[in-house]
Each structure stands twice: as structure tokens, then as C-alpha cells.
Chains A and B, each alone.
Chain A
Amino acid sequence: MLRRTLALCLLAATPALAEDVTTFQLDNGLEVVVIEDHRAPVVTQMVWYRTGAADEAPGLSGIAHFLEHLMFKGTDTLAPGEFSATVEAQGGNDNAFTSWDYTAYFQRVAADRLDLMMQIESDRMRNLKISEEDITTERAVIIEERKQRTDSSPAALLQEQMRAAQFLNHPYRIPIIGWMHEMEALDRDDALDHYTRFYAPNNAILVVAGDVTPEQVREMAQTHYGPLAPSDAITDRVRPAEPPQIAERRLTLADARVSEPYVLRTYLAPERDPGAQEQAAALTILAELLGGSGQTSLFAQGLQFGVNPVAVYASAYYSGTALDDGTFGLVVVPMPGVDLATAEAAMDDLITTFIDTGPDADDLARIKTQIRASEIYARDNVDGLARRYGEALAVGLTVQDVQDWPNVLEAVTAEQVVEAARDTLNRDRAVTGWLMPEAEAAE
């Protein structure tokens, strides 16, 4: 077949690692990654802390994210708000984000402003000042954030409930934004405790990407980050582990704001481990085969196409970049008139068949072609590369793991995909959520 020949010929050689990456470490433990891209006179600085919502003290859900907001208040030398004002005065943009495994801060500026960015970013690594007034107003902001992003969205509420059911013991069960009743009680001491414990050069990764050389970065980093004292409170990141999961969990959330009911399924799934990314790679390809295309994937073909399609939309998702076991997810939005039980059963039938028969060879070849090409396209977005490296290092992977990843994906066999599906898609370790309009649920 023509298709097959094309797929095999194209991009036959694994691309040599295209991005130009240098790494080193300062004496105080700060890891530094430099990604060169000299096409435009622009640079991005990111600092990733190896701490996130899954590292919070019990009862203080939301503190990692709250602290992220408070990091834009003052230091010994910067007034509240002056951090962002300084970046903006250079024409730059800055922001931050928090996940379960990390908290990251970034600025994007003209390349000749990097030194100033390092000066202010290193300043707030150890010298943050927070007033009681900062706490009061910023706590109101994160409460509004929760109302906007979670409480106003039935889909977000369902996912939050499912996560809490998925993880019986691991702190991934806690929402990053926090539970409302705990957010309302977060105070200055809570924030400063989290800050003092986790924000230090030996718990951070500096990623600099853009029009800059490793030598320049080394010199500036040494000047600004070099003098910072490491923390002696940094320990191995051992979180409470999951016990064996032996019983399927199911829940239904009914809400007047739901228009399209759907079924969401998450399975406990392994993540990428340093030097051992094969299983995660197989799951990554499994997600593509099941739900990666609206036309050719197994779910599209089995649920959305045909004479009597079951679903309006169906997909699968998985991201293996995490410190501990995460989830593999499936979603099916049924056609009007098709109930959730029918849609769910059709989805499960497809999975059973897939495990019996394995993937189509052409489908697998096409996905690998796209993965190889995505490495070329990825080079167009140096910020994206900065995030790729920063995130991986923040969850305990190495630069080598990042650079091996395309080859590990390339090497995945049909048998490994089936094995990963058989191991992971086990309903004893799954949560199934139904999102429904209120009236339908009451019937």
C-alpha cells in the first residue's frame, strides 16, 4: 500500500538531537540547563522548584499555589508588585504555574535583559517578604480563582472528585488549587514555612532558553544564584504510596449547568522513570492509538463512525511526566439519545478487542512518523523546549532521559503497547465518572 511505503520512507532516520542543550551545576546545588536558539534576540528564564501541591503539609491544601501568588509580593529590595513591574519595564512578560510536582516561574525578555531577570529571580528565591495585608487580599484572589476555574465548572468538579477517588493514599488526590475550607484558613506562617523549606538553590532548576551562550549563563548564574545558601531541609521526595487498588470506583456528578453528559474513566498508570521510560512510552503510544485522531483512532472509528455511531466525541489522554504513578484517561461524549451505560460499554468492548488483536501496523507506523516530525516542529518553540526540560528535571528525570525519549517512543513495539494496555486498563484500579444534567440524573 502506498500509505505504508510513505510512512516507512519518510523520516526513516531518527533525527539527530536537534536542540542545542548544555547543563551544569553550581556549588550550592542549583542545576542549570541552557537551550540555545539564536534565531531571535529573545530569552526565557525559568526557575523550577522541586515542590508542588503533592508536597504540602497535611491540612494545608493549596499552600504551594498560594505561595506561587505571594512570590510576586516584595523582597528586602523589591516592593510588592515591583517584580512584575520591573519585567514589564523591560518589555518582558512574566508569570508562574504550580502543579503537583513542581512550581515554576518564568520571564520572557529581550536577550540583553537576562542579567536583571536573574538578579530579581534569585533575590526572591531566599528573600521573600510577605505582610498580613498581602495574605488577606491574595487569599481572596485564589478563592476567586477556585470559584472561576473549579466551582463554576461541573467538568472541573467531576475531575476533582475523581482524582480524590483515584488516589487512596497518595497526595495526588488533593487539588492543586486546594479544598476551599482549607484555602480559607491558609495564613502567613503556612506560606513562609513552605517557602523556607522548599525554596533554595539545591531544590531548583534554572532553565535559560534563547539567544544566549552557556558561558554567559554560567557567569550570570554564578553572580546572582551562586551566593545563595542551600537549604538543609531538602530530603528525598518520598510521598505516601498507594496501597494495592483492588476495587473499581464509580461516581456520578449531576449539575444543572451540564449540557452534554459524558463518561470519564481514569486508571492508575505508571510514569516515566529515570532510565526506564519504556512502559510510559508504550502508554503514550497507546493513548494516540486509542484516541489521538478524530478520524483514524480506534475510538473515532469504533464510536464516532459507522451507521449507528455511539459518540459525538471520544478520546484518550496520558502524560507520563510525573514523580509518581499518575493516570491514563478515557472520555466518551455520547450521541444524543445514547445513554452513558451504552457508551461506556461500547468503549470497554473496543478496549477488550484491542487487547485481543493489537494495533494496526499502519496506524502504529503513522504515529511514529508523526512523533519523529514533532521533534522538528518542537524546535520552532524554544519556550516549549524550556518547559520540556524543566518539567522533566523537576520530576526527577535527567537530561539524558529527555533526549532519549524520542528514541524510546520509536522503539515501542505492538506487543509492548498491548502489554501496557493489559496491565494498565484494569478497572480494579480505575475510577469511572458520569457527568449528568440534574434532571436526567433524577429520573
Chain B
Amino acid sequence: MKMLKLATLLIACALPARAEINIQTVTSPGGITAWLVTEPDIPFTALEIRFRGGTSLDASGKRGAINLMTALIEEGTGDLDSVAFARARDSLAASYSFSADQDSVGVSARFLTENRDQAVDLLRRALTEPRFDVDATERVRGQVLAGLRQDAKDPRTLANQRLREMAFGDHPYATTGDGTIDSVSALTRDDMVTAHLASIARDRIYVAAAGDITAEDLGPMLDTLLGGLPPTGAPLPPRAPMNLTGGITVQDFPGPQATVLFAHEGIKRDDPDFFAASILNEILGGGRFSARLMTEVRDRRGLTYGIGSYLIGYDQAEMLMGQFSSANGTVGQAVEVIRDEWRKIATEGVTEAELEKTKTYLTGNYPLRFDGNGPIAGMLVGMQMIGLSPDYPKTRNAMVEAVTMEDVKRVAATLFREGDLRFVVVGEPEGVTSTD
């Protein structure tokens, strides 16, 4: 057909082979390193900071401390209470957001060139001298507790928690970093101070900036912003176990659909076969409409609105995980389709056409992600967290291209283990029961 020919021709033309960005590394006089993309077109800077460790650094019996502490960073510093701090920030039209996940505490900031020094100084004060006022703590604690009560009635969260419990033994990954009603209710101001010292320190900092700022300006700014933090924090958690076994776990929950997570062990980010695994996962469960699971479960059978699978790389564990929702009456059929696809890709691999198309997609799509100061800063800090070098955007596509059919076949046979898949089904599924 006419269309097909044209599409094929265009593939043969040169795709943008690499992301056209120029990453500088900047080391401050005080020894803090950051990655920078200078882009002066728009007069603002996007800044991303990560502190490795995150909620996994919660002390014993204090689950949720780092999460609550992180939420309190924007609730006042020094002589500014939470309202005064918010007014000062908003008057500068700066934005700061603070978040915590199982591997890091994150700071995302953006500020205008015209008041950069003031915006950075205010952020410094928040990060280094949070007040942890009693009234602000109670208000934010109330919000965290409300979130926990909602989680207890959210099928997706329930499935996730069940899967973590089964997978990660007594590692912090086994429970949510938000904590429990009991643990969060019991947290004190001292716990906040301890959590702050444990998780926000100079020995675990990753920084990226993009926008209207030069290396000359960024260097001293890093020391101003972060130089006053304590040199060391709490020890990082050990490697997590992987205790998932094959089978089905059903948890009863009312509603028209069952929500399903399915997973087994994944692959390390620095494994030489990681790119082959990425390509395989993209073929099987990528977000594209033409991925196999999307085609088989949604397009051919109409069993779901959406399905996908992901290679998840935490600092201390890896999973290959997927998710979907399906009507209670059809969820069993969908599970069987997934099992079939899992077996099929492991035993038969993929076609030449699938491999080539997916490489074209992955290499062509990569440069599209670097579109804007905010996204670029986010990508750059993420790369540092997983140990990549600043030239990665220029070499990454070549590594995708280098994956051969033999690589893919070999990796598929070991990566996809249908017998090891654990399905967690939250709902009222018909004809699906727990296997253990």
C-alpha cells in the first residue's frame, strides 16, 4: 500500500541520531557537582536536586517520618512561618516542590532570572533551617493521614502494597514510605529533626540545572544553596531481597472492575543486557498502541482500557511489572492472555520487523524527551542517580541500535518467566482465586 511504502522510505532517512543537547558538568568551589544545560531563551532556571536514600532511611518504628518531614520543608523557616514563607515565595513567583520516594528526597525548583538570588536564598533557608512548627506539623500530618485512609480504599494502592509485602521481606521497600496511621500519628518534632539530618546531607546530593544560567553563576550558587547542609546522613539501605513467587493473590474489593498488578524479578540498569530487555519490554508492554499486550488485551478483545508493563529499577531491587483493570467477569481471560504472551515471547522471541520498528521508535523518540528546561533538568538528575555519564544522551541510541536478534532471543528466554509471575487481583473477579 502507498502509505506503507512511504513510511518505510522515511525510516531509511536519517533519524536524529542523538539528543542535541550540550551538557556541562559544573563543580562548585566547595566541591558540589551539577550537570547543566544553558538555554538563555527564556529568563528562568529549572533546578532539580535529589538526596539519595529517601523514605528507605526511616528509623525503626518511625515509618513515614521522612515523608512527613519532606512535606514540612515548605512550611516555614527561620523567622518565616508557613504563611510568611508562602507569601515570600509567591512574591518572587518562584516555585519549589519537595517530594520523597523510596530512593530519594527530591527538590524541584524554578525561578526567574530577575530575582534568582532571592529565590535561591529562600530555598536555601527552607532546606537548611526548616521550622517544623507544631501547628504546621499537625495540619500536614492530617493531610498525610487522610491520604492513608484513602489509600486503604484505593484498589491500585492496595494491589501495590500487597505486591511489595510479598516481594521485599523486611526491607523498607516492603511498606509504603507514607507510613501507617499509627506510625504517622506517633511522630514527634524530634523525629522530624532526625529525619531531616538523616536524609538531607551533602554526601548524597545530585543536582541538575537547565535554563537561563551559566556555569559561572551556577558554581557559587551550589555552595550558597547546599554548602550549609551537614556533610553526611544516615547509611543507605542494603540490597533488597526478591521473594515474589508465581501465583495469584486475590483481595476482595467492591466495584465493577478488578485492578491487577503482575510482576516478577527484573533486570539491573547496569546489566549488559539492559537495552535488550528494554526493547523486549517495549515490544511486549510498551505504552504504544501497537505493543503486544495493548493489541491482544485491548484492541483485539476489548478486555481493558489500557495495559502496560515496565522495567522498574529501584536503587536496591528490580522488577518487571505490569498493570491493567478489567471487568470482574473478564479479568480471568485477560490473565490467561498475558500468560500466553509471556510464554510466547520467552520461547519464540520477536520478529525482525518488531525489533527494527521498536529500535526506530526508541531511537526516534529519545530526542523528543529533551523539550524544555523543566524536562531536561529532570532527565539530567535522573541520569546521575542511575550512574550514567554526561555523554549518555549522545551514546544512548547507538547502544539501542547495537542490540542484535541473538541478544533479544537470549534475554527473552531468561527475562520472561511465566511461571514466576505473581498476579495481585483486587476486586471481585469471577473464576479467579488465590493460589496460595
Residues of A within 8 A of B (CB): 3, 6-7, 10-11, 18, 39-42, 72, 77-79, 81-82, 84-86, 88-93, 108-110, 112-113, 116, 119-120, 136-145, 147-149, 151-152, 256-260, 293-296, 301, 304-305, 309, 312-313, 333, 335-336, 362, 366-367, 369-370, 372-374, 376-377, 379-383
Contacts and interface: CB of A to CB of B under 8 A. Distances in A.
Given A116-B10, A147-B257, A148-B325, A108 B368 contact: yes
Of A42, A138, A333, most B-chain CB atoms within 10 Å: A42
Interface residues of B, number: 81
Contact of B90 (A139, A141, A293, A336): A293
Interface stretch (B162-170, B220-228, B302-310): B302-310
B364 interface: yes
A144 B301 contact: no
A89 to B, nearest CB: 5
B153 A3 contact: no
A293 to B, nearest CB: 6
A367 B90 CA distance: 8
25 contacts: A10-B114, A42-B371, A77-B2, A77-B3, A88-B288, A89-B7, A89-B360, A90-B364, A91-B364, A93-B365, A93-B368, A110-B16, A141-B304, A143-B302, A144-B305, A144-B326, A145-B305, A148-B305, A148-B325, A152-B259, A258-B153, A312-B142, A366-B87, A373-B93, A380-B44
Nearest to A365: B91
Nearest to B21: A40
A419 B171 CA distance: 57
B153 A257 contact: yes
B29 interface: no
Given A6-B92, A77-B2, A296-B83, A312 B15 contact: no
A141 B86 contact: no
B186 interface: no
A260 B302 contact: no
B304 A144 contact: yes
Interface stretch (B35-43, B49-57, B62-70, B265-273): B35-43
Given A256-B254, A377-B110, A381-B374, A81 B299 contact: yes
A369 B114 CA distance: 13
A39 B342 CA distance: 41
Given A84-B289, A144-B304, A366-B90, A380 B325 contact: no
B30 interface: no
Nearest to A155: B150
Interface string B97-120: 000000000000010101100000
B368 A138 contact: no
B143 A312 contact: yes
Contacts of B1: 77-79
Contacts of B254: 256-257
A138 B302 contact: yes
Nearest to B328: A147
Contacts of A109: 364, 368
B31 interface: no
Interface string B119-150: 00000000000000001000100110110011
